[in-house]
Structure formats: C-alpha cells, structure tokens
Structure 1
Amino acid sequence: MQQQTTYSIGEAAKMIGSTVKTIRYYDEIALLQPSQYTEGGHRLYTLQDLWRLELITTLRYLNFGIPDIRKLMSGELGMSQALDLQIEALESQVHTLHSMLSILHQAKQYEAESALSTEQSLGYVSSLVESMNASATRRKQFVSAKLEQSRLLENIPQEWRVSFLHFFDKYIMKDTKLSAKQDVAWKEIQALLNDPVYLADLARLELPFFTMANHPQVQANTWVKKMEAIHIRAIEALEKHWPEDSPAVQSIVWDFVMMYGSSEQSSNQTDFFRNQSRYMLDSVTERILRFNKLCSILNPEWAQLVECIELLQRGMRWRLQQLDRPQ
C-alpha cells in the first residue's frame, strides 16, 4: 500500500502562499486541523488538507469571515447563499465608502471656499460627521416612535415591553458613536422599521412572545434572566463546537422553546415543542435575516446572539426530525 504524501506546516504554508502562524491559528480554532501528526507531535498536512487550506485562503482574500467559512466547509451554508451574503457585505462597504467620500468632498469644498485654519477645518469635518451620526438618544427616540406608530406592543403589559426590547437595548442602543459603516447600517435599519412588510414579518415572528406575555408563567424580569442564561449556555456550546444533536444543545433548545409556553399550552410538552418550533422556524423571513445582519454591523455582539439563535434553530430542526420519524 502506497504511503500518502504529507507536508510539514512550513511546507504547507509555502505551497499555499500563507504563513505558519496563520495555519496554526486555523488549527487552534478547529477550522482546519492536520490529518496526521509525527511521533513528536508535529503537524502533517495531506494534499486534501492543502486544497482546503487553499480554499480558506481564497475565501479570506474575498473577505469571508471565519464563521461563514466554517459553515461553508461543513456544508451548513450553501455556496450560492455564501456568495449572496458576501456580495451583500461588500455592497454595504461600497455604501459606506460613498458616505465617507460625500463627507470628505463636502469638507474639501467648504475648506476651499473658506479661509479657515487647519483647526477650523478639522472642526468643520467633525461637525459634519456629527450631524450625520445618530446618537444613542436619537436612535432610541426613533425606535420608540416607530413602535408606538406600529402599535406592535400595545396589547402587552408595560413590563413585558421592556423585556421584548431587552437584547436590542443592550446591544444596539449602546451610547457609542457610530462609524461610517455603522451609520449606513443604521439608516437601512430605519428604512426597515418604516417598512410595513417588515413590521408584519416582525409581528408574526414575535407572536409567541406576545401570547406568552399575556399569559406568563413567570415575571417579566425573571423571564429575561432565564433568557440571558440560555444565551450564556448557547455561547458555551458554540465555543466548544457542540453539535445540534448533542445532549447539551438539545437541553438548551428544549428550555428555549418551552420559555414561550403557558401552563395550559405546556400540558402536552411534546406537542407544544413540535408546534412552537415549526412556527418559529417558518416565521423567519429575508427581512428578518437582513435586520439581524444590520444589527451585527452596529454591534458584533449581536452577531454572536444571531449565531446562538442559529444553533438553536438547527437543534429544533434535528429534534423535529426525530419526533416526525415513524415509530
């Protein structure tokens, strides 16, 4: 039997035009680990490994993020969807650059037409950016006004309205100045919140929350604490790369879904889980996904929240498959 050709990490780095440090990093985060090791514990890469490393290098050149590369290589994310996501990300960058260019051109024109000192010119640039930037207070005022106009929350108790906005307030309403890229994302979020179709999507998605809030098993602040605990558990599952069918992830999935049940609804827990999970999965629309993408630009912590939700959704799908199997 012919022995498979292998390459050291240094040889692999040279062959794909990368660095030893980068390839070692891919191993450490379990993005791509070597197929073999020497008796002394040194990494050895096969031709198949080299092909996958070359693919990762290409995707990184195209500005794909590590999470998307991981999903793409595992088959969780299709190539067409991955390309759409990256095109969308690059288009967002283009809009950001246009916004920045607009500011710079305006500043240059003003500077040319005015006899200003360097300090005065810089002051004008600063004021121009400030006028285009949405402060946390202005963002809160906008969201509050839109929710009031939409009447989305009018039928739930006040304390549950705060719970509904908990994660949004925690991650998106932070009192930080937006970058040009974040400002572009915020403008698109405003457009979505002005879109009746998006608001209808949101109302459908959150119907389980509204139903639960009117027949709660716990107080609103307790519900938030439980949801935060589920978030922490999901983060741990992601960090440890636990699969959706693992007992730990399935426990999180079950607890998450049952958070939305009243005592009457939860009497037959299996049926409730089945119906609730299907509803949650079927209610996710392109506009909902886009909103989450934009929020992830405003705060990377929201991206982690979305990853947690995606893990739970995969767990729901797996459990539903088991429940729907013929006995």
Structure 2
Amino acid sequence: MERRYKIGELAQLSGVPVKTVRYYSDLGVLPPSGVSETGHRWYTDGDHARLEAIRSLRDVGVGLETIQKLMQQEDAISEALRLHMETLELEMAQLQRRRALLAAALKRNDHLGYLRGARTLAALNARERQQFVGQQIDRMLQDVPADPVWVRNLWKGPIMQVPEDLSEEQFEAWLELADLMLDDTFIARSQQMGQEFWSQFPDARSRERFMAVQQQTEQMMADAVKRQVLPDSEEGQKCIQQVLSMFAGTKERSVLQHLALQQLEMIARHTEPRALHFWQLVEKVHGQTGRSAQVMAVHEWKVKALQVCVSEFGSALHDLHPESNPGHGT
C-alpha cells in the first residue's frame, strides 16, 4: 500500500515550507491525492516526486502556470525544457552583450555619448552587421585602384563574414571594430595609404605581377621567420636580396639597395598603428588568433633585413622607424 503523508510531513520530506506546499495545492499545481474525513489533505510518494519535479522546474525559471500545464501532459516536459533552455541562452547572450557594451563605454571619456551611438551597432543582427562592414569597406577603398582579387580575397571575403553568434569577447571586439570603421580620420588615412600604394601600378598586368611576386616573397620571409633565421645573418641577407631581385627583375646590388631604401621609405610613410589594431579586432570578432601576430613578425623581420641591406646609406635611414606597423603596403 502506498504511503500517505500529511502536508507537514511532505513539506519536511522535501525541505520546503508548509505554506509553499499549500500554495502549490491551492493553485492546482500539486493537488492532494485525497482529503481525510477531518478535512486534512494527504499526499503520496507520487506527489512527493511531483513536488520535486516542480522544484526543479522552478529552479530553472519555469513559471507555475507553465508547470501546471506540463504536469497535465508529462510527455511535453522534455520539449518545454528544451524551449526554456533556448530562452535562457538567448537571455544570457543579451546580458553578455549588455555587459560588453558597458565595458566598451567605460573605456571612453564620454560614457553616455558612446552608449547612445553604440546601442544601434549592438542591436544589429548578423546580416545587418555584414551590410555595415561592407559599406565601411567601400568607404575605405573609395578611389583606391586596388587589385580586384586582393579586394575580394582580403576584404570582401573574411572580413564581411561576421559570425552570427558572438561570445562576449567577440561582441566587445565587434563594437570596437565598428567604432574604428566609423572614424573618419581612419577611413581617410586608409584611403590615402591605399591610393599611394596602388598608384605605383599603371595597369592590371603590373598589379597582377606584383600580387604574384608578393605572395611568393611573403611565404619566403615567413619561412625564414619560422626557421628563426636572423635578418642580419648571411642567410637572412640572401633571402631579402632574393625577395628584392624578384620585384626588381635583376640581381644588381646597387639596384637592390635602392629598392630596399624605397621600400623602407614606403613603410615609414605608411606607419599606422590603427591598421594593425584593425586586423587584430577582425581576428577577435571571428574567434581567431595568431594571424596578425604572424604578419607582424614577418613585417618586423623584413624591415630589419632591409635596413641591413642598405646600411651603407645610414644617414638616409636616420628618421625611419623599424617598429612601424604594416598598413596597405608590402
């Protein structure tokens, strides 16, 4: 015979106040299995299990009205729990975004001013973020005679594919990236560097040749960095001279030294710390790490190797900065 419990006994067994059990009973969420001749409610082991289920559902935030319906259709509980879990995940994502928005605002001097502007960016969905990025990239490349393949592979591809679901860290990086892309001075500087760099190539053929050589030489220098070849070593100088000869189409040392000097001057003119930060933010938004650090390592190796190559022109290099950051240039 199934055991019977008075309301106080059931409350003690479950570790909840008597008034809570009575409240659930009055609502019909936990109706008693019976009532004694004296009018006292009594409950069974099945009611105890039911009460434990109610407590579990309440712990995860399910409302009593929903619980009452679920108790009438026990086969619907799994679906209800799944939907509730999805709701909680959405709420958590919203809280994470709000936290990221506040964290970003705290880094600004004008907290409220930033919040007013960033709220719109924070509310964008994945498709709207992609449209926004595309519009800003078009601004950055306006009147820049860049190679179409370079634009498609480097800009229109990976940057625009902003993930739909962003972690708190990714979302904070997205806000900072969007803020940077709305900075007119950064846009203007990007246009200036792009126009100066790509104007070196008078036609599509020269651009295509440059891109092919660029890809080969970047791989050569990346391999040197990976093998820890010092830029001022004999092997390092052979590597940088081979790089220069591939661009110049000759191995004549005076020509290579002159080209090395030109490249250092170009790097100095294109020093833009925000360019590196831009790519670091792109990496964070996409949940990637390491690519910008690798690019920077190759860039620094190249600068040092070029300086050694033209060391006899030391006075001409007096004002150049070896720690300059890569922008649009080679």
Larger Rg: 2
